[in-house]
Structure 1
Amino acid sequence: ILYLTPDGRYASDDSGRGVDYRCISYKKTIIEWLGQCVGIAVHRPLVRETINQYINYLKQLTGQDMSTIVQSEIINLLSKAENIESVLQIPTYIEAVKDAIMTKVIQSVALECGVKGELRTDLKEREFYFYKESWKEGTSIYFGLDKGKVYYAIKTKESLDGKAKPEIYLEHLFEEGIDAFDPYGYGYICEYDWLTNNHIWVEMADGSFAKKYIIPSVKKILEFVECDEMLKSKLEERNENV
């Protein structure tokens, strides 16, 4: 069994335990194989150029699209004695930088959509969510990672631990069905994640990620909830004594 990931990482214990498999990656294995395919397709221009385009796309997704000259110049600069101390401190601050970038994303989305937003940092992957004050505690529009992609769903407090009772499959909002983690279904907003792709942090920092993916998804769900009284009543806190 070949386990294909962007960077060749191992499978989680839940899915890989007891399975004899070999790790391969888009970053090395697939790009090298496609390079050989280009040579084979030398007399078929359309096929050859299509493969080349896909190679360039994969290099972009796996952070290999800088020219060798530029990479060499950066490495030489960072390797100078006067820069070493600063370079070695970068890992200490990188996580804080990522949290700061995501916090800005959350704030911009919350302001644009009229909701509250929070960052969840108790997980390695980092996830964030948005909610209205009238919703039940723990109910939110959730954004996280699944199978190397960014997904979104309407979460409940119980669903965070996979203990939710499946509710209504909102097929107008999500393309994937309901389960104990996603009682209303879930969907994907982009085909890459912030664990293995550096360029996504550039998009987050300049605001384009929020504008392209997060804000439209949040607005779509909020508009749907406002038009569906049954769903709205399920999400909102009801005080029976009133």
Structure 2
Amino acid sequence: MENIQLSTIKHLLTNISIISKKYNDIAQVTGENFNLFSIMRMETNERYTHSAIIGELLNIKGTHGQGNIFLKLFFNEIKCLHSIKDFNFENANITLEKYLGTVDIEGKTGGFIDIIIEDGKHTIIIENKIYASDQEAQLERYKNHYRQAVLIYLNLFGTEPSDESKGTLKSNIDFHLITYKDHIKKWLEKCHKESVEQPVLRESIKQYLHLIKKLTNQTVNNDMGEEIKNLLLQDLKSAKEIADNFQAAKAIILNKIRSELKRELEKIYNEKYYFFENHNAAEEKNSHIWFSLKEFKEDSKQISCFGLEPFSGWGNNQNNLFIGMLDFENQDLPLFKKHIPNIKINGWWRGIEDFGIFESYPIDFSDVEFLQLLHSNPIKLQALIQFIIEKTKNYVSRYENTFMIIHSERKENLSQLFLETENS
């Protein structure tokens, strides 16, 4: 009986492979596989792809040269903005990553606003999410700073913000949900139509529109998905067996990579660093390797650390493996800005760097073709680990001294604060 079931599953997988090849051939012929954002591995980067492009199109002084046309189209598309009757489109100002001050979770203040639209009288805030998880009291903090603002929560499919983020805020009253799948797609289609006489702008918008369709399952691959689903309906039992074991099979490869990499890094950094919080790739989307300086381990608060993530293939801000410095609750943000003025800031991360290309593949653990390559060729898997180790060593050597200075200064600040409290 078991052999019959295995034979059935193999037959099902063969048929799925045939369907997949058919649609891949279609995408090849139509050119749908060619997308600049995919080539540059910027598909899911909220700040440098999505917020940047949306913000530029909304900017009345943007390089698109179309004035306020795209901004007006946005207002027309987003229902919650229809109540603003006197918005001054000629005086509109767009700001990306607006800093509201250091995050204070208890006071529910501070943070960075992804996109903010202002005309001197009205304020519109857009919190932009692709795959990033919500930060604690995130929407509450923004609403506390701009109490009269229209607060928009944008994500792929209209998922509600977490309770930790929205707190007591009410949907459709204190904030409004919009989606890439519906609102942004329709807005971009209208922007594309308005750009028919500007070929470079028109094709750039078209490329971005295709990316949005890809992220929201509205491309030719979606047609392939429909055909595969119909096939699976013919044998749901076999389909369930495949589904039940897919993530576990994938996690075997991912956990092998993470555990072997961690073991090698511990050999290099064991004297100076301790390693902690290494989540299983099958259970935690931000499965990672974090390591902190032992010298500062006894600090009263969790100290900043070096980190590599995600090993799950479906991470917080991006799928590609990256290295950076994690600044918990933004506690060291002023010190990072002081000692590394031009450092990139992504939420609680500082100085994120992608590991780049290995064997012509981005190091993206959501790419099953890449995972198959590593699983089928242990030599390449070991080469990947050595590749990541060399990149990690280079990164740590560049930032280690500054990192130690930041930790030392924070420790001094905490000691001084303690003395002042004792003497008061």
Query: Do Structure 1 and Structure 2 share a fold, with TM-score over 0.5?
Result: yes
2:317 corresponds in structure 1 to 149
Q: Distance in 1 between matches of 2:162 and 2:209?
A: 27
Instruction: Label 1:60 to 1:76 Cα distance change in 2 as closer, same or farther (>3 A).
Output: same
Conserved in 1, the CA contact under 8 Å of 2:326 and 2:350?
no
Which AA in structure 2 matches 1:222?
Answer: V
Conserved in 2, the CA contact under 8 Å of 1:152 and 1:186?
no
Of residues 393, 418, 421, the one that matches 1:219 is 393
Q: Distance in 1 between matches of 2:333 and 2:203?
A: 47
Instruction: Label 1:46 to 1:97 Cα distance change in 2 as closer, same or farther (>3 A).
Output: same
Three-state SS of the structure 1 residue aligned to 2:182 is helix
Report the alpha carbon displacement of residue 98 of structure 1 after superposing the two structures with TM.
5.2
Instruction: Label 1:36 to 1:164 Cα distance change in 2 as closer, same or farther (>3 A).
Output: closer
Conserved in 2, the CA contact under 8 Å of 1:119 and 1:126?
no
2:278 corresponds in structure 1 to 119
Matches within 5 A, 1:197-216: 201-202=366-367, 205=371
CA offsets, 1:14-57, max 9 Å, x none? 32121422222223321122123223333332222111111122
Three-state SS of the structure 2 residue aligned to 1:23 is strand
Which AA in structure 1 matches 2:179?
Answer: S
Conserved in 2, the CA contact under 8 Å of 1:152 and 1:189?
yes
Conserved in 1, the CA contact under 8 Å of 2:325 and 2:352?
no
Alignment length (residue pairs):
212
Report the alpha carbon displacement of residue 10 of structure 1 after superposing the two structures with TM.
1.5
1:49 aligns with 2:203: yes
Of residues 250, 255, 279, the one that matches 1:103 is 255
Conserved in 1, the CA contact under 8 Å of 2:153 and 2:178?
yes
Conserved in 2, the CA contact under 8 Å of 1:110 and 1:130?
no
1:71 aligns with 2:222: no
Instruction: Label 1:224 to 1:46 Cα distance change in 2 as closer, same or farther (>3 A).
Output: closer
1:186 corresponds in structure 2 to 350
Conserved in 1, the CA contact under 8 Å of 2:280 and 2:287?
yes
- Cα RMSD after superposing both structures: 4.7
Q: Distance in 2 between matches of 1:21 and 1:229?
A: 40
Instruction: Label 1:98 to 1:38 Cα distance change in 2 as closer, same or farther (>3 A).
Output: same
Q: Distance in 2 between matches of 1:229 and 1:39?
A: 50
Q: Which runs of 5+ in 2 are unaligned?
A: 1-150, 270-274, 355-363, 375-379, 409-424
Conserved in 1, the CA contact under 8 Å of 2:324 and 2:350?
yes
1:86 corresponds in structure 2 to 238
Larger deviation: 119-128 or 71-80?
A: 119-128
Instruction: Label 1:11 to 1:37 Cα distance change in 2 as closer, same or farther (>3 A).
Output: same
Q: Distance in 1 between matches of 2:292 and 2:276?
A: 9
Which AA in structure 2 matches 1:171?
Answer: I
1:238 corresponds in structure 2 to none
Three-state SS of the structure 1 residue aligned to 2:224 is helix
Q: Distance in 1 between matches of 2:253 and 2:277?
A: 13
Conserved in 2, the CA contact under 8 Å of 1:144 and 1:152?
yes
Conserved in 1, the CA contact under 8 Å of 2:155 and 2:180?
yes
Conserved in 1, the CA contact under 8 Å of 2:278 and 2:290?
no
Q: What is the percent sequence identity of the aligned residues?
A: 20
Of residues 324, 344, 347, the one that matches 1:175 is 344
1:2 aligns with 2:176: no
Three-state SS of the structure 2 residue aligned to 1:149 is coil
Three-state SS of the structure 1 residue aligned to 2:398 is helix
CA offsets, 1:79-123, max 9 Å, x none? 213xx1132345544553453343244246447765679731498
TM-score w.r.t. the length of structure 2 is 0.38
Q: Distance in 1 between matches of 2:353 and 2:157?
A: 21
Instruction: Label 1:47 to 1:94 Cα distance change in 2 as closer, same or farther (>3 A).
Output: same
2:87 corresponds in structure 1 to none
Report the alpha carbon displacement of residue 202 of structure 1 after superposing the two structures with TM.
0.7
Conserved in 2, the CA contact under 8 Å of 1:120 and 1:126?
yes
1:128 corresponds in structure 2 to 288
Q: Distance in 2 between matches of 1:166 and 1:39?
A: 43
2:181 corresponds in structure 1 to 27
Report the alpha carbon displacement of residue 149 of structure 1 after superposing the two structures with TM.
1.5
Three-state SS of the structure 2 residue aligned to 1:57 is helix
TM-score w.r.t. the length of structure 1 is 0.60
Report the alpha carbon displacement of residue 74 of structure 1 after superposing the two structures with TM.
1.5
1:12 aligns with 2:172: no
Instruction: Label 1:189 to 1:91 Cα distance change in 2 as closer, same or farther (>3 A).
Output: farther
Conserved in 1, the CA contact under 8 Å of 2:306 and 2:325?
yes
Q: Which runs of 5+ in 1 are unaligned?
A: 191-198, 236-242
